[in-house]
Amino acid sequence: MAKDLKEIKDIEEIKELGWDELLPGAALFSFREPVEDVAEIPMEERPYAPTNSHEWQVGDWRVEKPVYNRDYCIDCQFCWVFCPDMSILSRDKKMIGVVYEHCKGCGICVEVCPTNPKSLLMFPEHMDNQEALAMWPKKEEKK
Amino acid sequence: MVKKIKNLKEFSLSNDRFEGANLMCPGCAHNIIVREVLNATDDPIIVATATGCLEVCTAVYPKTSWDVSWLHIGFENAAVAAATISAAYEVMKKKGKLPPATQKMVDEGREPKIVAFAGDGGTYDIGFQSLSGAFERGHNFMYVCLDNEVYANTGGQRSSSTPIGASTTTSPAGSVSYGEKMMKKSMVEIMADHGAPYVAQVSPSKWKDLVKKVQKGFEVNGPVYINAQSACTTEWKHAPEDTIEVSDLGVDSCVWPLYEIINERDEHGIIYSTKLNITYRPKKKIPVEEYLAAQPRFRHLFKPENRHIIDLWQKAVDARWEYLQKREEAGV
């Protein structure tokens, strides 16, 4: 029995549906309600619909994850501008952290980080973040 | 309204209108370009996307990664879709039939921006006739070509953007061949010759240059063509974390020069002035060999029997850089 989008309340329910189980012509919207000016609303306050990919996750693609160390960060925002997956959270010109649901583990943020030692480093996915922070490398002397 | 972006910190205040958890490859430059283009303005944006990696991976049933109005159309007609949106918008505006929310923004001086995204396959080959037609008619929209020099979505076939010596699935390198035999088509000049008011070449690694050119393009009345270098981890075969480095190597070796062409036309459409500006000059021009060495799709060129192709590359890049500088100097 084909379903109308209006009947679906829970995101989990859509994940179980096959491609032919939604009513033909059912429009899949980005938001639950009309939003007038998306550019003015930060991500946390947007009324995302379950059909927006923001509500899904690709974190299980990763083998290694970037870990963020606030102590060395200079808020240059290189990681923010070059992140292909909108996974670097930056608010009020300050870097806050990594969105692990959307990060695919490409490692660009670590490559472009200019600090010494880097304030973003790749660690194995299974490692605890606190454990990773404890084994952070020391400043490298220039030879 | 032009968004004020003085530095990267200011730019980072932008609220992304392109969402994560899309299915693009890790480290894909397409995403970086799309983000930089969408964040270049706070005005409403209407996007038309041709078939290609970007469309296939950002609109997988039952989800979408777009927070802006988005239209998917065939492989060949992203330019026409954008042109018709632009024409429809002009008519609705003239008749006063815009939706109230849009009308309010237009009154505030925030006109909607219409952008078409397409890959190099949808631009250089398949979409060329519709792109050429839309530019000839002079609709008011921006066309961004995400140029990864190969049909990456369908398994890496050569396109007319693939440069000489690259190994692709339809031009494989082996004992009898060094890979692709043809030089790359110079699309930027072709589009400039349509008389478009603004045409530019950009790279995602030089974000400020890209944003500036996109903002300039939004301000111009008429069709705008932006050719964006898009390093492809899958088909250029470099590691995902090297995307920005490879892009930088391309720019610094002048394989991918950053420049813009501005055409000025009178009311009859006659071009009375053409200007070419080089917007980025590498402090030290690095040899092309370094750019090629960073990408395993050119690995076979380093065999002794294929070395002459590297020399050919260097010659071609030097000649082109010389040509651009001469044009800039002469102001044509």
Using alpha carbons, select from B316, B310, B230, B216 the residue that is nearest to residue B259.
B216
In chain B, which ranges are continuous DSSP H helix?
A: 8-11, 29-39, 53-58, 78-95, 100-107, 128-137, 187-192, 207-219, 243-252, 288-293, 307-330
What φ, ψ does residue A9 adopt, rounded to 5°?
-110, -35
Chain B (173-232) residues lying within 8 Å, Cβ to Cβ, of chain A: 204-205, 207
CA A129/CA A124 separation, integer angstroms: 10
For A65-121, give the secondary structure using H, E and C: EEEECHHHCCCCCHHHHHCCCCCEEEECCEEEEECCCCCCCCCHHHHHCCCCCCCEE
Q: Which fold does the domain B8-330 belong to in CATH?
A: Rossmann fold (3.40.50)
List B residues 28-67 in contact with A (Cβ-Cβ < 8 A). 28-32, 35-36, 41-44, 58, 60-67
One digit per residue, pLDDT tens: chain B, 332 residues? 799 999 999 999 999 999 999 999 999 999 999 999 999 999 999 999 999 999 999 998 778 999 999 999 899 999 999 999 999 999 999 999 999 988 999 999 999 999 999 999 999 999 999 999 999 999 999 999 999 999 999 999 999 999 999 999 999 999 999 999 999 999 999 999 999 999 999 999 999 999 999 999 999 999 999 999 999 999 999 999 999 999 999 999 999 999 999 999 888 888 999 999 999 999 999 999 999 999 999 999 999 999 999 999 999 999 999 999 999 999 98
More confident residue, B118 or A50: B118
Q: Do A43 and B15 touch (CB under 8 A)?
A: yes
* Inter-chain residue contact B27 with A84, CB threshold 8 Å: yes
Residue A26: what pLDDT? Answer: 64
Check CB contact under 8 Å for B68 and A38. Answer: yes
Looking at residue B186, what is its pLDDT? Answer: 93
Q: Would you place residue A77 in the very low, low, confident or very high pLDDT band (cuts 50, 70, 90)?
A: very high
Helix/strand/coil for B38: helix
Q: Do A53 and B26 touch (CB under 8 A)?
A: no
Match 């730019």 to its residue by tokens.
B11
pLDDT at B153: 93
Q: Which of B244, B249, B325, B237 is nearest to B290 (CA)?
A: B249
What does the pLDDT read at residue A13? 74
List pLDDT tens digits, range A8-44. 766 667 767 777 777 766 667 888 888 888 999 999 9
What does the domain layout of chain B look like in residue ranges?
A: 8-330
**pLDDT score for B60:** 87
A-chain CB neighbours of B35 within 8 Å are 81, 84, 86
Residues 115-174 of B with CB under 8 A from A: none
A143 pLDDT higher than 90:
no
Of B16, B18, B244, the CB nearest to A111: B244
Out of B13, B17, B27, name the one closest to residue A108 (CB): B27
Q: Which residues of B touch A105 (CB under 8 A)?
A: 26
B20 at interface of A, judged by CB pairs closer than 8 A: yes
**Mean of the pLDDT values across residues A105-110?**
96
Which 3 state secondary structure label does DSSP give B273? strand
Q: Break chain B down into helix, strand, coil percent, rounded to 5.
A: 40, 15, 40
For tokens 């478009």, name the residue. B196
Give which of A81, A73, A39 is closest to B208, Cα–Cα: A81
Asked whether residue A142 carries a pLDDT value surpassing 90, the answer given is no
Report how far residue A101's alpha carbon sits from residue B6's, in angstroms, rounded to the nearest whole number: 31
Q: Which residues of A91-106 are buried (b: 16+ CB within 10 A; e: fewer)?
A: eeeebeebbebbbbbb
Half-sphere exposure of B326 (CA within 13 A, CB side): 6
Which residue is listed with tokens 């815009």?
B98
Residue of chain A with shortest Cα separation from B37: A81
Q: Give the pLDDT confidence score for residue B58 in this predicted structure.
A: 94
Determine the pLDDT at residue B125.
94
> Does residue B23 belong to the interface with chain A, where contact is any CB pair within 8 Å?
yes
**According to the model, what pLDDT value does residue A87 have?**
95
What domains does chain A contain, in order, with CATH numbers?
5-55 (no CATH), 59-134 (3.30.70.20)
**What is the end-to-end Cα distance of chain A in Å, rounded?**
70
